[in-house]
Amino acid sequence: MAATLDALRRAVRAWPDPSVTLVGKRWHSPYLVLVSCLLSLRTKDTTTLPAAERLFALADTPEHMLKLSSDQVEQAVYPVGFYRTKARRILDISRVILEECGGRVPDTLEGLLRLKGVGQKTANLVLVEGFGKPGICVDTHVHRITNRLGYVRTRTPDETEQVLRQRLPTAYWKDINWVLVLWGQNVCRPVSPRCSACGINTRCGKVGVTVSR
């Protein structure tokens, strides 16, 4: 798997980074990475990043965020999926960070998971993109592609994360998400993947693939 990830990392290097990765590189703020993660859930990157930019222009710290009304946050992040729910969650988490975390985003998996609305995927992504710490963020792309390759045989993203933690060298933990997200968005699509354009075609088990291009 290490050689496969090395090949894919070279292949996607020139492509635009996923939205949360871009937020981490541009703002260097664990808080804004967390907010962008929340916005990205069930939302395409082409919608997430502009929404994050509009919101960050209004507020870029928990203190500033809490000066906004729920309506203001909603208007800034629309049309991300479930924008009303996400606006309330962002404000609630900002309040908890100020009142219970000393104004700082927790920098451990356990601490992040204590924040209501933060799941395993989001917590790992904040560790990686917000703090530069090792974490394995398993979203739909990572789950699908690692199973399709035959590297894991799992039923859920949580199961995939546990297997990857056991099998994947730590040096690759921080890269696996952004690399496989880009590959999954552009080549290894959920339906009819572009196998003819895949640089790791000969290494792939094509598990579950019935139609390809």
> Could you report the per-residue pLDDT of 136-191, keeping only the tens digit for each?
999 999 999 999 999 999 999 999 999 999 999 999 999 999 999 999 999 999 99
For residue 109, the enclosing domain spans 19-131
Residue at a domain's end among 131, 152, 171: 131
Determine the straight-line distance between the first and last CA of the chain, rounded to whole angstroms. 23
The answer to whether residue 156 is domain-embedded is: yes
pLDDT computed for residue 74 by the predictor: 98
Long-range contacts of 87-92 (CB under 8 A, 24+ apart): 89/38, 89/116, 89/117, 90/35, 90/38, 90/39, 90/65, 91/65, 91/66, 92/116, 92/117
User: Which residues have a Cβ under 8 Å from the Cβ of 89 and sit 6 or more positions away?
Assistant: 38, 116, 117
Q: What is the pLDDT of residues 85-139, one digit of tens each?
A: 999 999 999 999 999 999 999 999 999 999 999 999 999 999 999 999 999 999 9
Is the preceding omega at residue 79 within 30 degrees of 0, hence cis?
yes
pLDDT computed for residue 112 by the predictor: 98
Q: What is the pLDDT of residues 12-27, one digit of tens each?
A: 999 999 999 999 999 9
The answer to whether residue 50 is domain-embedded is: yes
Domain count along the chain: 2
pLDDT computed for residue 61 by the predictor: 98
Please work out, in degrees rounded to the nearest 5, the angle formed at the alpha carbon of residue 56 by the alpha carbons of 55 and 59.
90
Computed from CA positions of residues 142, 147, 149, 152, in that sequence, does the dihedral angle turn out positive or negative?
Answer: positive
The answer to whether residue 97 is domain-embedded is: yes
